[in-house]
Structure 1
């Protein structure tokens, strides 16, 4: 079954060979894009969808989220707005709530959050574990996450559980826990943050990442969120796909990113929700670093699943142009996941598309908080 999508006022392809197109159309065959070009040249198809002058963009790729959780931490948000500093300690509250939730309860929460994402134009999402912190609970959250996305990340090294010795917990994460979880994950991640008493220093993070790589998992890193640290350079050294947060960077960190294959994933919803300084995206872009945007949707530091909101924040607060921010939220997210079949509207790629109730992509930043984006299929 083929479908012609026509009446596209502006089509952002993110394809360097095509660029943006006006008065465009595309043909979808099953789950794949079969043709892209001017509406006047569109071939026939079995079905037809007329978007009546609206803009179409690649579906947003949210390459950093923590959707597999139960519970609520709105009180922490209120406390931060009153001046309390975030240090990662509240994660333990979510761990308790998640452990107490049944499989069916977590499955329902995941389904609701996935529907919320799609209603805002997100078509691909990465989901991390990290709210179990035992072998059985980490395995369970990964198994449930894998029911809704192929992009699952083992984050047993999210924080050190209260009352647990760091060395013994790292041994558990890299031993029995990794053995159980690796078959259900594509990636491994670690919260490398010496500024937090709950997270992992560079040596422990290296141990976790090298064990994950030996188990066949791709590497991701939470790095340099709360202060300067080794996370960014460790990620680049080990060839991680992405290092996420990148709020506090030295010149050496920027140089390392510019000279490596690791992308910098910025999460401006976190800075919004913690009242922290925003990353300097302009500095990174001018240095030649690949910059990505994602939500970090989680119960503690960013309870937003809206990629359009991240685009608006990036433009308003981080020095990105609307076009740069949209690329970072689509083709950039695909880079962060090392995917070539999403994030770009081109024949052979997945037909993951978002339609905007607007004539141009500029409205994503121009109309923040307005639900103008939705997935097309």
Structure 2
């Protein structure tokens, strides 16, 4: 009976032993590049997530190593390693399963990336962050919109997300992600870009809405995993697939959108230029940005960066800012008319926060951000608001 029990025990634990051995084997193979797609879909996008994964599988290069974390609000969430042109093999064999994770929390983002890099060490890392978004805005309950992510109403601030992403790099002896691409609305503001500038080489984001279709992942993944091109070329081509997809929606209500690609090593140049202008200018900024005629992106307190400054800065100052932006924004395009509010030639590729009415109470949070502090924009913002409410 004891022998039988021992045999049964060995039989039961053998899969666990094999699993551990398999993970050790995986960890011994260093990948050239790991692409991690983080899908926070415990919200009204859960059905779209399935379609996006199907397109990813169709588009990836056979030699690419793409990992997708998917949380759709069920008890379990999963990490899948995409198998090219084989959706059943991808979805039927998750490489990791988790119980009761809150994907709207920055610690979960860190946990998922940690897991992938522990079991699949990689020379370089690219991130796609997929969910709802609302730019720099503080997370609920201090503000009703999402900053990034939405797990049944839970979300995270960009500041907290940045700290979490940086901690992963430190644990794995790395300094930078190759890129962070946002498949989420309104993440192309200077405030978000400034927070993330020191942990990645490139950022792709939209200053406006991204429709629920998101990126056209069959073409997008084909571009991003094409190892015949250098990284920047791959990213530009990936952005082009987004624009082309929505250009071709002329017979639907989906023919709009914008996407930009930012080179983060040039962000400090723009910050320093703005700082210098604010520090040396004698202009009166008391009425800066506060009026009832501001055109907002999607009724949010964001406006095109250059449209904002051109209304209040001198021509010489604007020229300096444009020069800095031209070095930082290496790709930006719109689909004809941006939600009927801004034509393509009017858009510089970055948005910026503007105070207006009920957005006052976010000022304390806002002025602690990298952009607000380092550019001194937070100083003139505070002065403008104080002038208008006193």
- TM superposition score normalised by structure 2: 0.31
- TM superposition score normalised by structure 1: 0.32
